[in-house]
């Protein structure tokens, strides 16, 4: 639906900064919207790892009219 690249998913995993950025970018473009929010995380109770424990969450807010250099706001 959002078209996150298979390469990004394979390289970083679904719960990653890179994936939520791609999700928000694609949502913004495909919806022709002014802003988009994406979220990915590990809710538990299992499936966490040492690198990405249960409770890890990535949020991304992209605003199409915002900043010159970047239009992403990452909340960790």
Percent of the chain with pLDDT over 70: 84
pLDDT at 2: 85
Q: DSSP letter string over 30-60? A: HHT-SEEEEEEE---SS---SSS-TT-EEEE
Q: What is the pTM of this model?
A: 0.79
Strand order in the sheet with 72-75: 35-41, 57-63, 72-75
- CA–CA dist 31, 19 (Å, integer): 18
- CA–CA dist 16, 33 (Å, integer): 23
pLDDT at 7: 97
Q: pLDDT category, 9, cuts 50, 70, 90? A: very high
Residue ranges of domains in the chain, CATH in brackets: 6-75 (3.90.950.20)
The mean predicted confidence, pLDDT, of the chain is 86
């Amino acid at each position: 639906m959002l078209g996150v690249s298979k390469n990004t998913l394979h390289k970083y995993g679904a719960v990653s900064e890179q994936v939520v950025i791609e999700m928000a970018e694609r949502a913004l473009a495909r919806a022709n919207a002014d802003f988009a929010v994406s979220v990915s995380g590990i809710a538990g109770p299992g499936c966490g790892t040492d690198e990405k424990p249960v409770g890890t969450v990535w949020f991304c807010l992209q605003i199409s009219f915002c900043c010159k250099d970047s239009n992403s706001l990452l909340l960790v």
